[in-house]
Amino acid sequence: CHICTADAMRHSAGHEWEERLNEELAAAGVAFWTENQLRSRGYHKTPDARLQASCVPIAVQGRIVNWIDSKATFGDDKLHRQQTVEQYERYVNRFGPGLVIYWHGYIADLNKV
């Protein structure tokens, strides 16, 4: 099944980029919980990384970041709006402001969406 193969490849790529995020955060000395650790604590919908409260808050371009979600895709308007409704709004409500990394780039006006 071509759709099943494509879904499996997409899932695998997503997992690889989540691991890269975890490695980058650990190398930078940032204390965080992984998605799996959060789920084991009873959270259903979770970002890929949740910065720990013991960690000094980080800011990216002047904005506080409490969580990071990793996307192994290109960020376009349609995808970003869909993910905002399905995921990001829940993360903001639960954990405060965060950051989404589109590893394969994004459109320049995406922050205005």
pLDDT digits (tens, 9 = 90+) for 42-55: 988 899 999 997 76
Phi-psi region of 61 (alpha: psi -120 to 50; beta: other; left: phi over 0): left
Domain that holds residue 104: 2-111
Look at residue 48 in the predicted model and tell me its pLDDT. 96
Q: Which residues of the chain have pLDDT under 50?
A: 113
Look at residue 58 in the predicted model and tell me its pLDDT. 84
Look at residue 113 in the predicted model and tell me its pLDDT. 45
Look at residue 93 in the predicted model and tell me its pLDDT. 94
- The four Cα atoms 63, 56, 68, 17 give a dihedral, to 10 degrees, of 130
pTM of the model: 0.83
Look at residue 5 in the predicted model and tell me its pLDDT. 61
In whole angstroms, give the CA distance from residue 100 to residue 65. 10
Q: How many structural domains is the chain composed of?
A: 1
C-alpha distances out from residue 105 to 4, 90, 96, Å: 25, 23, 24
